[in-house]
Amino acid sequence: MKKLSLILIVLAMFACKKDEPITEHSFFVDIKEKWSANDEPTYVGQMKTVTFIFKDNGKEIDYEKTTTNIRTDQKLYFKDGTSLKEEFSSIDPIMTFENVPDGNYVIWVFFKYSDFFSFQSSTKITVSESTHLKQHVKIFRCYENFGYQTW
């Protein structure tokens, strides 16, 4: 009888334990291209993109320096001269980033069109319970100038 009482007490203790809040979530990034304003977007081919996820520290991004260097050093540069290494990255045009800690982030996408031309774009996101499994889609407008494009 004592063993049964002990087992019931232990079960009651665990049954009453409050669940810890989930502080990591997942989201999707899809990279597409279109070749004229009237075209339907299509997914970018495999191995043509790299998507970087950076923790957003609230500093002003140096877009020129980041655009010039990100492919070689995987860093986000800021106007104050500091830089930040990526938290996550992927080379697929359809990506799922899983178990990302809640917080604010910068998504930066590099799309290599050819050996000589590339497109880049970035956006800021919040990862939280309310944005869990959110899809972020970037459509590169390949009929416009090469280089940086707004998201």
Q: Where are the domains of the chain?
A: 24-148
Query: Phi then psi for 115, rounded to 5 degrees?
Result: -65, -20
Among the listed residues 60, 62, 72, the one whose alpha carbon sits nearest the alpha carbon of residue 112: 72
Return the CATH architecture of domain 24-148: Sandwich (2.60)
pTM of the model: 0.80
Q: For residue 10, what pLDDT band results from cuts at 50, 70 and 90?
A: low
Burial 98-131 (b: 16+ CB within 10 A, else e): eebebeebbbbbbbbeeeeebbbbbeebebeeee
The stretch 102-123 carries a mean pLDDT of 91
- Token readout for 111 is 């799309």
Q: For residue 1, what pLDDT band results from cuts at 50, 70 and 90?
A: low
Q: For residue 115, what pLDDT band results from cuts at 50, 70 and 90?
A: confident
**Is it the case that residue 2 has pLDDT exceeding 90?**
no
CA 52 – CA 132 distance, rounded (Å): 18
